[in-house]
Amino acid sequence: MAGYVLKTDILGNQTCVSGDSACYDQLGFNSSYRAYDNKCVCDRGYINQNSRCVSLDQLCKNQLGLNSSYNVLSDTCECSIGYIIRNDQCVQADDACEDKIGRHSKFNSLTDKCECDSGYVLSQKSYGSELECRSCTDKHGIHAEYDYLSKECECESDYTMDDDGQCIEKQNNVYFDLIELDDDNNEAIIRSDYDRSYYHVSYGLGCLSIWRYENRQIVINLGTDYSLDTWDKIVLQDDDQTCNIVSKERVDSGFSLEEEEEETGGYYVPTSVNVFEVDIALSPYRQAIENLKNKGVVGGYPDGTYKPKNLINRAEFIKIVMGAAGFPASGSSCYSDVKDEWFAGYACAAKSSEIATGYPDGTFKPTNNINVVEALKIVLKTFVISVRGLDEDEEWFKPYVETAQSHSLYLPTFDSADKKITREEMAELVNRILDLQSKLSP
C-alpha cells in the first residue's frame, strides 16, 4: 500500500507500518518518508547527523554560537544581523571591531567591514605593528585636523607635515648668504642656509641697499606657498625693506658673476619681453587666463608673472569668483579667522549670500588651498546654477559634480574630488561659467 513499508521486528515478524512511523524509528523527529525513492529523509532545515535529524540552526549555533542561523539560500551558517565571525564565534560586530582596530571604531553593515568613527583614521599603533583608529592629533600632533571631505588627516593652516608625519610650523622665511653682488646690473649669487644650494638671481630696483648685505645674511620670504621653488621676494631685515626677485636659477657653487659678464656681457632681462605672456605660454588654459586678464578679473604678481601652476587658496578664489559675478565686497569680521584683510569683504558677502558659509568651527580657513568640489560648489552657487537635491546616504558634493559635468564645467584635469586646483584651472573654470552665464541670460 502506498505510504507504507514492510517492517521486521526482532523476532522476524513482518508487518506493514506507515513510512513516516518507520522513519521516526530510524531518524527520530523531524523526518519523513519519501515514497518516490522509498527513503527516509530529514525535514527541510534539518540534516542527518549520526542517524538523527538535527536542526541546521542548532548545528550552526553549536558551531558559531547563539547569534547564528542557517541560510537556506546559501546553504551555510551565518551570523545574525549586527554580528560577525571572530575566533569561530558570532560576536557583536561593534565589539569585534573594537577588539580589532580599537574603541573608536564601528561596523559598517553596507560594506561588511570595520571602519573608524568620524574624526579618526586607521593607522599604525604608537607601539607595535598593529593598526588602530587614532585621532589626527594623536597621530600627527596637536596641529593636525580631520578633513571630513577626504576623511584623512591634514595639518592646520601655517603647518606642514614633516618626514616623520608630524605637523610642524611652516618655514615662512629661509635665510640666505649673499655671496657675490653686481649692483650695477641688479644681480647676485646667494646660498641657501636651508639646503646649501646656490642661486643666481636678478632683483628689482627696490633693493637699493642690498650691497650692505654682501657676506651677510638676507631673508627670502616664501609667502603662502612655503616652497623653495616659489620664493620671489628678498627681505632686507635691518632696513625692513622688501624687493622682488625678477628671475632666478640654481647654479653650482663655482658660478661667478664676473665670468658670466665676460661671456655674455652682463646678465639682464630684456624689457621688450612680455613676462605675463611668456609665463602662460605653455598653459593648456592660456586663452582663459588671457580672457580674464582682459576683463580685469585676474592679474599677475608684482614681477609680471601669473604662475599658472601655483595652487590657489580659498581667499584668492572667493575674491576672484565673487568679483567676476559682480558681487560688491561687503562686511568684515564675519569669521573667527577673517577680520579686515584684503579678501574679507568678498568672504563676508559670500557668507551673507549663503554661497560659502565656512566650517562648522566658525572659521573660513582663507589660506587653505581650495579643492575641486569646494570650487564647483562656490561657482555654481555664485552664478545661481540650479543643482538637484541631495539623496539619502549620498556624498554632499555629488549633485554639484553632476551639474558641473552636464554644463561642461568639470575640467579634464579634475582627476579627483579632493584635488587642489591651480590658478590656470581656476581661470578656465571661471571663464567657462561666464560663457555659460552669457548663454543662459535672456
Per-residue pLDDT of the chain (442 residues; tens, 9 = 90+): 555 666 665 666 666 777 778 788 787 888 888 888 888 888 888 888 888 888 888 888 888 888 888 887 877 888 888 787 877 888 888 887 888 888 888 888 777 788 888 888 888 765 444 788 888 888 888 888 988 888 889 888 777 777 678 887 765 566 677 788 887 778 888 887 666 778 888 877 666 667 666 656 666 655 444 455 556 666 665 555 666 777 778 888 778 776 554 444 433 333 344 778 878 888 899 999 999 999 999 987 777 789 899 999 999 999 999 999 999 999 999 999 999 898 999 999 999 999 998 998 999 999 999 999 999 999 999 999 999 999 988 899 999 999 999 999 999 899 888 899 999 999 999 999 999 999 887 6
Query: Which pLDDT belongs to residue 263?
Result: 44
Predicted TM-score of the model (pTM): 0.44
Query: Which pLDDT belongs to residue 259?
Result: 57
> What are the residues whose beta carbons fall under 8 Å from the beta carbon of 180, sequence distance 6 or more?
188, 189, 214, 256, 257
User: Which residue's entry shows cell 608684482?
Assistant: 302
Q: Please give the DSSP secondary-structure letter assigned to residue 210.
A: G
Query: Which pLDDT belongs to residue 208?
Result: 64
Query: Which pLDDT belongs to residue 56?
Result: 85
Query: Which pLDDT belongs to residue 196?
Result: 72
User: Which H/E stretch holds residue 248?
Assistant: strand 241-251
Topology of domain 173-264, per CATH? OB fold (Dihydrolipoamide Acetyltransferase, E2P) (2.40.50)
Alpha helix (H) ranges present in 3-126?
Answer: 19-27, 56-64, 93-101
User: Which residue's entry shows cell 515514497?
Assistant: 35
Dihedral of the CA atoms 280, 285, 288, 293 (nearest 10)? -20
* Residue 67 grid coordinates: 547569534
User: Which H/E stretch holds residue 315?
Assistant: helix 314-324
> What are the residues whose beta carbons fall under 8 Å from the beta carbon of 242, sequence distance 6 or more?
206, 221, 233, 234, 235, 236
Provide the residue ranges of all domains of the chain, joining segments of one domain with +.
4-77, 89-169, 173-264, 275-440
Q: Three-class SS of residue 277?
A: helix
- Our separate counts of H helices and E strands in the chain read 12, 24
Burial class for 216, CB neighbours closer than 10 Å (0-12, 13-18, 19+): exposed
> Do residues 131 and 123 touch, judged by C-beta distance below 8 A?
yes
User: Which H/E stretch holds residue 333?
Assistant: none
Query: Which pLDDT belongs to residue 268?
Result: 35
- What is d(CA 386, CA 243) in angstroms, rounded to the nearest whole number? 46
Dihedral of the CA atoms 415, 419, 422, 426 (nearest 10)? 80
User: Which H/E stretch holds residue 201?
Assistant: strand 198-203
Q: Please give the DSSP secondary-structure letter assigned to residue 304.
A: S
For every residue of 383-426, which 3-state class applies, written as one string? CCCCCCCCCCCCCCCHHHHHHHHHCCCCCCCCCCCCCECEHHHH
Q: Please give the DSSP secondary-structure letter assigned to residue 128.
A: S
